[in-house]
Structure 1
Amino acid sequence: MNLHSDSKNLLSYRTVFWFFLPLGFSASLVTFSHLIINSTLARAPDPAFVIASYSIAMSLFTIFEKAAFVIRPTSAKLIRDKASYRAVSKVSIYVLLIILFLSLIIAYSFIGKWILMYIFGVNSELLTSTLDAYRILLFVTIFSGIRCLFQGIIINNLRTKWMTISMVFRLLVMAVLAYILVTQDLVHHGYIGSIIFLVGMAIEALVSTLEGLHLIKQLPEKKEDHTIQKSSHVLSFYRPLLLASFIAVLIQPSINVTLGWSEKGEVAVASYAVAWAVTQLFLSFTSYMHQIVMNFYRKDSTVVIRFAIYANMIPSLFLCLIVFTPLGTVLLQNIMGLSGELLQESLSALTFFLLFALIFPWVDFLHGMVMNRAETRIMAFSQTGNVIVTLGMLVMMFYYFSPLGGAIGSIAISIGLLAELIILTIILKYKPEKSSSKANTRRRKVEG
């Protein structure tokens, strides 16, 4: 692929490449941070127990964290001046306060115990450790929301190198903290992973905030024809994204619940968590594909599509190397510290994530198409289909292929994502943008 400018194109591959590379690299580094945590917990005296308690707490945490996560595309799409910044910030503050309130209720009341025992299937031995991990994770959401608000501004201003810089600082601090905890023999509980995660997220939020505030100072007070001034304007874009995220976030908890009920539940949950972390290490590189679509598709769709074809092949190629060569065993055994049954189960689960790696980048690409149209309600519909298919596969796999362990989760989530890809493709093909004047009006209002 030629990354130099092409005079025939309105947009050069070089521009797209240097916009995307820091985003993809920073997303990959996010996955490294989870590998640091899982590798640290794998060195506990009872790694399956410790990783399982942290993973289940993360599943509960992720339900609320998604509400903070979608602040990033909202910020990137809507903030063009100081007036729109204040509107998005106001919505973000309300969202984070509501999340904190609900999380505290779950963490310190009988509701949390009931959810973990009767929905997640956590046994009495694992309950206390899981709650301890969650009581620290709930504060991670606040820092996550803050960094997403300012990272949206950074992305919109094409200053994506700061995404990588903030992640480098986060990883360095997490790695040093993990090393200290391991050498001091302090890794005995799942909440150790939560502490590492909290410290890392706080560092990333700090760096993103400093750069974001610098960029805000350069924005005009009111940009001509940009209509985002009130919270209601922001909510019309944010609410469908939030709904879609809450629908999609049901998938991981459902998988952990099902795996917890399967044969050798702790090993199944832990092996799936490890396989998911390794998959995300490569797949996260393309998790910002929607931002390329949002920023460049209207300038030159041909360049964007061609770039996506090449970039979207990268995760599955690397995952093939992990699955079909001894590199996978080296990574899990020597770097992550896995052994025995947990090692074999993790490799098995990882194999079935190949389909997921092939599909995910294109689903994210189509999400960018949807957000470009400001028709974010489509995502709620497509992700509902994803959840329905995933849950159906989980039930079938649980009853007929329970001995597969963590692979049950990777198979189900891959088939569910395939269903979402099909739904999005059909909707975008047969519902052209010009066919809906209401959608065009909404897009013009959002874009100003």
Structure 2
Amino acid sequence: MLRLILFYLPMGASALLASLTHVIISGVLARSPHPDLTISGYALALSLSFILEQAIAPLRQTSAKYVKDQHSFREMVRMIVTIVGIIALFNALIAWTPLGRLLFHYVFGAQDSLLDATVNAYQILMFVNVFSAARSLYQGIIIQHLLTKWMTIGILIRLFVMGLMSWAMVTWNLTNDSRYGAMLFLAGMAIESAVACFEGHYLARRLPDKLPSHPIRRWKPDIFPFYMPLLYGSIVSIVIAPATNAAMNHSLDPIQAIAAFAVASNLAGLIAGFASFLHQAVLNFHEEQPRHVLALTTALSIISTALVAFLAWSPLGHIVLEKGLGIHGELLRNCTTILGVLIIRSAFYPWIDYLNGLAMYHGVNKTIAYSKFGNVILSVTILFLLVDYNPGLNGLIAGITSSVVVVFELSLSIYLFSKAVQRQTLHTIEAAL
């Protein structure tokens, strides 16, 4: 159990520390003479970068599962180069042709006054995906070797360098341009990627040339089918955030609704982020220590639920929100009410990630994509039903939807996973006969 805890804690800590990145950047851009313009331009450019990041994120899980020898490492690199090449082509079109201005104006709703700041920031952020892909490749190898302390080391060095850069920018008045925020983010990603590459490359060189027990021939038939369902699930989930904002914009008090849910959801998401690596615990420890992985999932579910309940229902939690975040009055009341509903999401989210890990372990990743599809369909349905029948719920519209859907997604995941494993077992028996 101690090995599992020492494996998991650095990953959970890195997820929590990563959230400080945006706090540092916001602190720099907020000192601009025109903070609304610089922050908005950077935020819009970053939103598109995050959408493309959905194609990069599953590479870490794919690397952790498949890179076991030199041959599979080379095939993984070929797949990543292909994916990053396609993204780079799209990025170049957005950053350096009129297509970018059209996309940000008509799809993201940027005003004419914001377009220059947004495109300028994106011309820098377009390189983030390259460093993110390299980080994912080598962090997968690091995770497979159970050396997750390097993930925490990487994020700590990243934050330290970003802190120094932000101090220098503020001292030299380099704040009045969205590109400074993009430079900070790119520098942070490059630093973290460099740390992962440093340790990951050392580990990769020690891999055997070809393991007979690891039948990877080419990336297209052997690795890509694992990656694609994870990609579909990530892309589909993008729909939920704009659908949620659109629904709350039709509530009786949209400004209060969006603000209260944003605060409550970010707090609950920060707490849930510590459980977002449970799938890696399953991939690396389920075979040897299934009960310990189950115990870890149970513990994280209980801790997440308790922390959100503390913020939502205890007087001390309310003081934390007031003094720490400066939330008062009606916003505080609405925020704590939504947090009370999000307790359900906090309790069930770790189990979804645990089940996703089991799906990856058994190679039935399609169940993850299908459950995400179900999540999105039900989310959109409930959001607009609540807006239509009771718009006075305001921020609770999103809170109720989020909590109901997480129970549904877990139930659907359990059903789809059990069916997929049954079919897999049946095929194995038939092949043996």
Q: By the TM > 0.5 criterion, same fold?
A: yes
Aligned to 2:351: 362
| 8 Å contact from structure 2 (residues 37, 117) kept in 1 | no
| 8 Å contact from structure 1 (residues 349, 407) kept in 2 | yes
Aligned to 2:157: 169
Aligned to 2:370: 381
1:310 aligns with 2:299: yes
Paired with 1:274 and 1:49, the residues of 2 have a C-alpha distance of 22
Moved more, 67-76 or 23-32: 23-32
Relative contact order, higher structure (CA 8 A, sep 6+): 1
1:202 to 190, 195, 213: 190
- Where structure 1 has 5 or more consecutive residues not aligned to the other structure, the ranges are 1-12, 442-448
Aligned to 2:206: 218
Between the two proteins, what is the percent identity of the paired residues? 34
1:244 to 233, 236, 244: 233
Moved more, 81-90 or 327-336: 327-336
Aligned to 1:75: 63
| 8 Å contact from structure 1 (residues 275, 350) kept in 2 | yes
| Residue 212 of structure 1: how far off its partner (Å) | 0.4
Paired with 1:355 and 1:395, the residues of 2 have a C-alpha distance of 21
Q: How many residues align?
A: 428
Give the secondary structure class of the aligned counterpart of 1:67.
coil
Tell me: CA distance 1:42–1:165, structure 2 relative to 1, closer, same or farther (3 Å).
same
1:34 to 7, 22, 25: 22
Render the CA deviation track for 1:38-86: whole Å, top value 9, x for unaligned: 4555566676766555444333222210111110000000011000000
Paired with 1:322 and 1:303, the residues of 2 have a C-alpha distance of 29
Tell me: CA distance 1:143–1:326, structure 2 relative to 1, closer, same or farther (3 Å).
farther
Paired with 2:30 and 2:336, the residues of 1 have a C-alpha distance of 15
Render the CA deviation track for 1:88-109: whole Å, top value 9, x for unaligned: 1110111111112112323444
Aligned to 1:145: 133
Moved more, 241-250 or 128-137: 128-137
| Residue 423 of structure 1: how far off its partner (Å) | 0.9
* TM-score of the aligned structures, taking structure 2 as reference length: 0.85
In the TM superposition, 1:412-431 aligns within 5 A as 412-429=401-418, 431=419
1:156 aligns with 2:111: no
Paired with 1:428 and 1:112, the residues of 2 have a C-alpha distance of 41
- The alignment yields a C-alpha RMSD, in angstroms, of 3.5
Tell me: CA distance 1:190–1:326, structure 2 relative to 1, closer, same or farther (3 Å).
farther
| Residue 285 of structure 1: how far off its partner (Å) | 0.9
| 8 Å contact from structure 1 (residues 55, 270) kept in 2 | no
| 8 Å contact from structure 2 (residues 10, 151) kept in 1 | yes
* TM-score of the aligned structures, taking structure 1 as reference length: 0.82
| Residue 20 of structure 1: how far off its partner (Å) | 0.9
Give the secondary structure class of the aligned counterpart of 2:191.
helix
